[in-house]
Structure 1
Amino acid sequence: MLDIFDILGPVMVGPSSSHTAGAVRIGRMARTLLGAEPVRAEIGLHGSFAETGQGHGTDRALVAGLLGLKPDDLGIPDSFAIADNQGLAFHFHTVSLREAHPNTAVIEVSSADGKHLTLQAASTGGGRIRVDRLDGVEVNFTGIFNTLVIRHQDVAGELSRILNELSVSGINIANMRLCRDRRGGDGLTVVETDQRIPADALERLRAVYGVLTVTYYEKED
């Protein structure tokens, strides 16, 4: 059964939900997961994004998202000028990825205080996105839920401690995935939740033994 979003599509600045609205959301996701205001971005475009993205405004949409704009913001066409005024330097190039969605971007972004993030995400249609990789680790989440990205040590009982903090806060888990680079190394747990995560719960999660960083993406209203 289709919902009203499937029929009408997102409220956005056009011309394309995939190349514009989805691209804005990819940029916003990279900004949020970086956890700081970006000052530099290296943006790789794959497939259709590379071939027709400039004509569809994909490049301006991605930069708009990095600036924190939403898909319905009238400033999207002027994002390059806004980025220049706000001190965001960016560069586009073409990438060729194996088995990637044709509307895929790879964004390497950094902040003035030294934070760095590499995100690979696809615009899957109707303004929706899917994050496929974070800092080289394969993931799979969409941003349609409130989403926690928790980096932690791969030690016994770590996931149980994280889930206990969410339970104490009355947070219901919609989806969850645990990834790691190697046994005993660093883990990456992505938790999609039905409820918004209150600030005090985020602070308790950050204080859990073995947790390195906690990043929270709150879904759009």
Structure 2
Amino acid sequence: MRFKDVFSIIGPAMIGPSSSHTAGAARLGRIARQLLAEPPVRADITFYGSFADTYRGHGTDLAVVGGLLGYDTDDDRITDAFAHAKDEGLEIAIGRGSMAAIHPNTVTIRLSGTGGTMEMTGCSIGGGNVAVAAVNGFSVSFSGVSPTLVIQHTDRPGTIAAIATALEHGGINIATMTVDRKGRNGEAMSVLETDQPAGEDVLARLREWPAVLDIRIVYLAGETPKEGRA
């Protein structure tokens, strides 16, 4: 990965000893919360690799839970994240797992809310930067730094063109796009990192396309997206 500036290496303002093990972990927690699109009531957190070996000493567990509560990397409440989670009715289970050929700082987060569930696997890749690798069984690739649309849809002809057209009409430029599907004519997921956040007019146009099943918004920079399904 090419780092754009010194802050990409030393990490953001943060609570904790390590940009990879705490700042990145907090960001992964925030992304998972945004993907669930509501406050979670249960979180099953599985650490892999170095995360699994050192999460207690580095406060990685506190950081992930803080992110799940919506805390940014420098929020003092991270140090008491478990107590705050209990106050908010968030049940937490933490485990260790093994997975072949993964980044050493990897976590899978399974969330339940009152309206649904979500599973995400992501990696903390250094300097507080993160990479989301899977969402609900789909292979994806995004960081949350840019405004990101996570669109679940059926695998129908014209769907990708319809998504691109909706963004074009809204003046939204696509920076990156990944698409994965579970089978021909089955469910698919498109993830688009964009230069500008999508407005309500763009989201409404996307929802009108019959193949679109669900839209989630992820954006770590600036204001946190309003929780709720787009």
Is this a same-fold pair by TM over 0.5?
Answer: yes
Q: CA deviation at 1:203?
A: 2.4
SS at the partner of 1:96?
Answer: coil
The partner residue of 1:15 within 1, 8, 17 is: 17
Q: CA deviation at 1:38?
A: 0.5
- Aligned equivalent of 1:32: 34
User: Cα gap change, 1:111/1:19 in structure 2, threshold over 3 Å: closer, same or farther?
Assistant: same
Query: 2:166 aligned with 1:173, yes or no?
Result: no
- Aligned equivalent of 1:5: 7
- Aligned equivalent of 1:54: 56
Q: CA deviation at 1:112?
A: 1.6
Give CA deviations for 1:2-25 in whole Å, capped at 9, x if unaligned: 513135421111211001000000
Q: Distance in 1 between matches of 2:46 and 2:193?
A: 27
- Aligned equivalent of 1:93: 95
- Aligned equivalent of 1:126: 127
Query: 2:112 aligned with 1:110, yes or no?
Result: yes
User: Cα gap change, 1:2/1:158 in structure 2, threshold over 3 Å: closer, same or farther?
Assistant: closer
SS at the partner of 1:183?
Answer: coil
Give CA deviations for 1:87-131 in whole Å, capped at 9, x if unaligned: 000100111011111100011111022x11111000001000000
Q: Distance in 2 between matches of 1:111 and 1:200?
A: 27
**Counterpart amino acid of residue 64 in structure 2:** L
- Aligned equivalent of 1:78: 80
User: Cα gap change, 1:2/1:197 in structure 2, threshold over 3 Å: closer, same or farther?
Assistant: closer
- Aligned equivalent of 2:216: 215
RMSD of the alignment, in Å?
1.2
User: Is the CA contact 2:27–2:220 (under 8 Å) kept in the aligned structure 1?
Assistant: no
User: Cα gap change, 1:92/1:32 in structure 2, threshold over 3 Å: closer, same or farther?
Assistant: same
Unpaired segments ≥5 residues, structure 1: none
User: Cα gap change, 1:138/1:2 in structure 2, threshold over 3 Å: closer, same or farther?
Assistant: closer
Unpaired segments ≥5 residues, structure 2: 223-230
- The percent of aligned pairs where both chains have the same amino acid is 45
User: Is the CA contact 2:9–2:126 (under 8 Å) kept in the aligned structure 1?
Assistant: no
